Chains A and B, each alone.
Chain A
Amino acid sequence: MTPLVWITGLTVAYRRAHDDVEDTALESVSLDVPAGQVTAVIGESGSGKSTLAHAVVRLLPHNGHIRSGRIELGGEDVLLRGDREFRALRGRHIGFVPQDPVASLNPTKTVGAQLKEAFSLARSPLSPQAVEERIHQDLLDVGFADPAALLARYPHELSGGMRQRVLVTIAFSQRPRLVIADEPTSALDVLVGKEVLTAIHAARVRHDTTVVLITHDLAVASRNAQHVVVMERGVVVETGPVEQVFAHPEHPYTRALLASSARVAQGRVLSIAEAHLRRAVQPVRETGQPVVELEAVSKRFGTARRGTLAVDGVSLTVPRGSTFALVGESGSGKTTTSRLVLGLERPDAGSVRVLGRSVPDLRRGELRDLRRRMQVVYQSPFESLNPRLSLRGIISEPLDAYRIGSRAERLARVDELLDLVRLPRSYRDRRPTELSGGQRQRVAIARALALRPELLVLDEPVSALDATVQARVLELLTELQRELDLTYFLITHDLAVVSDVAQRVAVMRAGRIVEHGTTSDVILTPHDDYTQALLAV
Chain B
Amino acid sequence: MTDTITRAVVEPAPPPTPVRRRRGRVRELHVLLALVVVLVVVAVFPGLVTWHDPYELDGLPFTAPNGDFPFGTDEIGRDLYSRVVHGLRVSLFSAVLAVVVALAGGAVIGVLSGLRPGGLLDRALGILTEAVMAIPGVLLALAVITTYGRGAFVAAVAIGIGEATGFARLIRGCVIQAGTLTYVEAARTCGAGPLRVVFRHVVPSIHHPVLSYTALHFGLAMLAIGSLSYLGFGEAPPSAEWGVLIAGGQKYLAHAWWVAVVPGLALTAVVVLFSRIAYLSQKDNR
| Contacts A15-B17, A17-B22; A67 near B10 (Cβ below 8 A) | yes
Q: Taking the complex as formed, is A290 at the interface, i.e. its CB lies under 8 A from any CB of chain B?
A: no
| Contacts A65-B12, A383-B181; A372 near B191 (Cβ below 8 A) | yes
Indicate if the CB atoms of A15 and B19 lie closer than 8 Å: yes
CB neighbours (8 Å) of A401 from chain B are 187, 190-193, 196
Q: Taking the complex as formed, is A108 at the interface, i.e. its CB lies under 8 A from any CB of chain B?
A: no
Indicate if the CB atoms of B186 and A384 lie closer than 8 Å: yes
Shortest beta-carbon distance from A75 to chain B in Å: 14
CB neighbours (8 Å) of A66 from chain B are 9, 12
CB neighbours (8 Å) of B191 from chain A are 368, 371-372, 398, 401-402, 451
Indicate if the CB atoms of B19 and A447 lie closer than 8 Å: no
Q: Please, which residue of chain B has its CB at the minimum distance from the CB of A77? A: B5
Shortest beta-carbon distance from A42 to chain B in Å: 27
Shortest beta-carbon distance from A380 to chain B in Å: 7
CB neighbours (8 Å) of B268 from chain A are none
CA distance A397 to B200 in the complex (A): 10
CA distance A371 to B182 in the complex (A): 17
Indicate if the CB atoms of A17 and B19 lie closer than 8 Å: yes
Indicate if the CB atoms of B182 and A383 lie closer than 8 Å: yes
- Interface code A371-382, partner B: CB below 8 Å = 1, 0 otherwise? 110011010100
In chain B, residues 5-20, which have Cβ atoms closer than 8 Å to a Cβ of chain A?
5-6, 8-10, 12, 15, 17-19
Q: Taking the complex as formed, is B177 at the interface, i.e. its CB lies under 8 A from any CB of chain A?
A: no
CA distance A389 to B19 in the complex (A): 27
Indicate if the CB atoms of B189 and A376 lie closer than 8 Å: yes
Indicate if the CB atoms of A371 and B189 lie closer than 8 Å: yes
Q: Taking the complex as formed, is A277 at the interface, i.e. its CB lies under 8 A from any CB of chain B?
A: no
Partner of B182, one of A15, A344, A380, A402: A380
Q: B interface, how many residues as a size bin?
A: 20 to 34
Q: Please, which residue of chain B has its CB at the minimum distance from the CB of A70? A: B9
Partner of B204, one of A67, A79, A384, A388: A388
Partner of A386, one of B12, B23, B201: B201
CB neighbours (8 Å) of B187 from chain A are 386, 397, 401
Q: Please, which residue of chain B has its CB at the minimum distance from the CB of A377? A: B186
Indicate if the CB atoms of A388 and B205 lie closer than 8 Å: yes
CA distance A151 to B184 in the complex (A): 41
CB neighbours (8 Å) of B200 from chain A are 386, 389
CB neighbours (8 Å) of A62 from chain B are 15, 17-19
| Contacts A62-B18, A388-B205; A383 near B196 (Cβ below 8 A) | no
CB neighbours (8 Å) of A68 from chain B are 6, 9-10
Indicate if the CB atoms of B9 and A69 lie closer than 8 Å: yes
CB neighbours (8 Å) of B45 from chain A are none
- Interface code A1-38, partner B: CB below 8 Å = 1, 0 otherwise? 00000000000000111100000000000000000000
Total CB contacts across the A-B interface at under 8 A: 80
CB neighbours (8 Å) of A310 from chain B are none
Q: Taking the complex as formed, is B183 at the interface, i.e. its CB lies under 8 A from any CB of chain A?
A: yes
In chain A, residues 230-267, which have Cβ atoms closer than 8 Å to a Cβ of chain B?
none
Indicate if the CB atoms of A378 and B17 lie closer than 8 Å: no
Q: Please, which residue of chain B has its CB at the minimum distance from the CB of A402? A: B191
CA distance A400 to B192 in the complex (A): 8
Q: Taking the complex as formed, is A342 at the interface, i.e. its CB lies under 8 A from any CB of chain B?
A: yes
- Interface code B190-212, partner A: CB below 8 Å = 1, 0 otherwise? 11110010001100110000000
CB neighbours (8 Å) of B205 from chain A are 386, 388
Shortest beta-carbon distance from A102 to chain B in Å: 18
CB neighbours (8 Å) of B196 from chain A are 400-401
Indicate if the CB atoms of B5 and A384 lie closer than 8 Å: no
Indicate if the CB atoms of A397 and B192 lie closer than 8 Å: yes
Q: Taking the complex as formed, is A385 at the interface, i.e. its CB lies under 8 A from any CB of chain B?
A: yes
Q: Please, which residue of chain A has its CB at the minimum distance from the CB of B182? A: A383
CB neighbours (8 Å) of A342 from chain B are 189
Q: A63-B18, A378-B182 are in contact. List 10 more A-B contacts (CB 8 A).
A: A62-B15, A344-B185, A371-B189, A371-B190, A376-B186, A385-B186, A400-B192, A401-B191, A450-B190, A451-B190
Interface residues of B (CB under 8 A from A): 5-6, 8-10, 12, 15, 17-19, 22-23, 181-183, 185-187, 189-193, 196, 200-201, 204-205
Some 19 contacts from A to B, beta carbons below 8 A apart, are: A17-B22, A18-B23, A63-B17, A68-B9, A69-B9, A80-B8, A371-B191, A375-B189, A376-B186, A376-B189, A378-B182, A378-B186, A385-B183, A386-B187, A386-B205, A397-B187, A401-B187, A401-B191, A402-B191
- For the complex of A and B, the 3 pairs showing the least CB-CB separation, nearest first, are A383-B182, A398-B190, A401-B192
